[in-house]
């Protein structure tokens, strides 16, 4: 691991610990205990806390605050006030967890973060309620930051719009499963809605709460959109190129399940018969040799290079949007996280 990547991982870890410590304070297990245990279950199972980390880093950069002494609960605003940016960070994290719970229900997935999915550990009805509770709690948290009323309204509007767009993206993703003629641009639009808008909320909401001007808020939102799309493209690539033991699932599962990705959509445009690259409908039956051969065919078509280049272009665009922030360590870490997301190996 490079020194740069180590710095990024250390920064994420330090803020993740702060977020993890705050979660039990703001989301305690209370009555009815069965519901709140289910609500906390996936949060307690782990996670990188990447989105709340970038939210905190944006706040640190805007005010040029020393993170070692930062009081996220009483964070200075640009006009001399105070705001609880940790509450905003928790709002983002619980929305992310809400989407995971409902995704697992729709896909009937068994595992998440190395533990049984919420609907498997509890039951379907409890899992739906747990997701809905997290969704509601996010707005409670964002209403409790103590920021000026107009900023609080704007931040909540951003989060509400984000949740609507996530649902639109999920709907498109489901629609694409029944379509063969999906273009790379359509896929990128779906990824923006389903994945990237929450990164955009993570980077723009702290700027709103702390009183940044509209140009700064929108530049930071665009940073999140670009990086979020690049993150998903890298996930597509990792499914093909990372060994199964590192991925934590069968390599090439997207191919086996005939999922639409930027790689396979580009390959179809080059005349590759993607549906028959692997001769099985089950991830349990596919061999490493079959996946190797399929990946090589995609590489020959230029599809892997195309996706990798597209991710790098998005990251570069996203990093340019960070120029609205003061030139300090926090901004440098945000840039490093963007690079890390497309350079990671799992």
Q: Which region among 98-107, 173-182, 203-212, 231-240 has the lowest average model confidence (pLDDT)?
A: 173-182
C-beta of residue 237 within 8 angstroms of C-beta of residue 263: yes
CA dihedral 267, 272, 276, 282 (to 10 degrees): -10
Q: How confident is the model at residue 248 (pLDDT cuts 50, 70, 90)?
A: low
Q: How confident is the model at residue 252 (pLDDT cuts 50, 70, 90)?
A: confident
Query: What is the pLDDT, as a whole number, of residue 319?
Result: 97
Rounded distance between C-alpha atoms, residue 318 and residue 166, angstroms: 20
Q: How confident is the model at residue 1 (pLDDT cuts 50, 70, 90)?
A: low
C-beta of residue 294 within 8 angstroms of C-beta of residue 278: yes
CA dihedral 268, 271, 275, 279 (to 10 degrees): -140
Q: Which region among 3-17, 102-116, 303-317 has the lowest average model confidence (pLDDT)?
A: 102-116
DSSP 136-149: HHHHHHHHTS---H
For 3-343, give the CATH class. mainly alpha
- The predicted-structure confidence for 253-286, as pLDDT tens digits, reads as follows 888 888 889 999 999 999 999 888 888 767 777 7
C-beta of residue 142 within 8 angstroms of C-beta of residue 155: yes
Average pLDDT, the chain: 93
The predicted model gives 151-167 an average pLDDT of 98
Nearest-5° angle of CA 274, CA 278, CA 281? 105
Query: What is the pLDDT, as a whole number, of residue 92?
Result: 98
The predicted model gives 287-294 an average pLDDT of 88
- Of 294, 292, 297, 303, nearest to 261 by C-alpha is 303
The predicted model gives 142-155 an average pLDDT of 98
Instruction: Name the DSSP letter for residue 180.
Output: S
The predicted model gives 27-40 an average pLDDT of 96
C-beta of residue 291 within 8 angstroms of C-beta of residue 255: yes
- The predicted-structure confidence for 93-138, as pLDDT tens digits, reads as follows 999 999 999 999 998 888 888 889 999 989 999 999 999 999 999 9
Residue 89 has pLDDT above 90, yes or no: yes
- 157-164's contacts with Cβ under 8 Å and 24+ in sequence apart are 158/201, 158/204, 158/205, 158/208, 158/221, 159/91, 159/95, 159/201, 159/205, 162/95, 162/197, 162/198, 162/200, 162/201, 163/95, 163/135
Residue 314 has pLDDT above 90, yes or no: yes
As a whole-number percent, the residues of the chain with pLDDT over 70 amount to 98
Joined tokens for residue 79: 């006009």
The predicted model gives 151-155 an average pLDDT of 98
Domain positions in the chain: 3-343
- Of 205, 187, 206, nearest to 61 by C-alpha is 206
- The predicted-structure confidence for 62-78, as pLDDT tens digits, reads as follows 999 998 889 999 999 99
């Amino acid at each position: 691991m490079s020194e740069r990547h180590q710095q990024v991982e250390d920064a994420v870890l330090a803020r993740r610990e702060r977020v993890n410590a705050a979660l039990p304070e703001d989301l305690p297990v209370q009555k009815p205990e069965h519901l709140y245990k289910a609500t906390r279950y996936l949060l307690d199972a782990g996670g990188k806390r990447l989105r709340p980390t970038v939210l905190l880093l944006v706040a640190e950069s805007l005010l040029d605050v020393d993170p070692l002494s930062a009081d996220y609960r009483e964070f200075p605003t640009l006009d001399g006030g105070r705001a609880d940016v940790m509450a905003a960070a928790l709002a983002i994290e619980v929305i992310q967890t809400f989407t995971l719970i409902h995704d697992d229900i729709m896909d009937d997935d068994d595992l998440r973060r190395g533990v049984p999915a919420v609907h498997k550990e509890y039951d379907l009805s409890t899992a739906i309620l747990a997701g809905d509770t997290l969704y509601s709690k996010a707005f409670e948290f964002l209403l409790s930051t103590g920021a000026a009323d107009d900023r609080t309204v704007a931040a909540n509007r951003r989060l509400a719009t984000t949740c609507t767009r996530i649902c639109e993206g999920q709907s498109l993703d489901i629609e694409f499963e029944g379509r063969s003629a999906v273009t790379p641009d359509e896929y990128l639009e779906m990824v923006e809605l389903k994945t990237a808008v929450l990164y955009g909320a993570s980077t723009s909401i702290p700027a709103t709460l702390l009183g940044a001007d509209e140009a700064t808020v929108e530049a930071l939102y665009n940073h999140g959109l670009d990086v979020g799309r690049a993150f998903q493209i890298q996930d597509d690539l990792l499914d093909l190129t990372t060994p199964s033991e590192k991925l934590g699932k069968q390599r090439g599962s997207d191919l086996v399940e005939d999922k639409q990705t930027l790689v396979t959509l580009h390959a179809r445009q080059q005349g590759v018969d993607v549906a028959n690259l692997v001769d099985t409908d089950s991830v349990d039956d596919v061999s490493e040799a079959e996946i190797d051969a399929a990946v090589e065919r995609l590489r020959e078509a230029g599809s892997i290079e195309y996706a990798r280049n597209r991710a790098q272009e998005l990251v570069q665009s996203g990093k340019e949007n960070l120029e609205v922030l003061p030139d300090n360590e926090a901004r440098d870490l945000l840039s490093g996280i963007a690079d890390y997301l497309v350079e990671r190996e799992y």
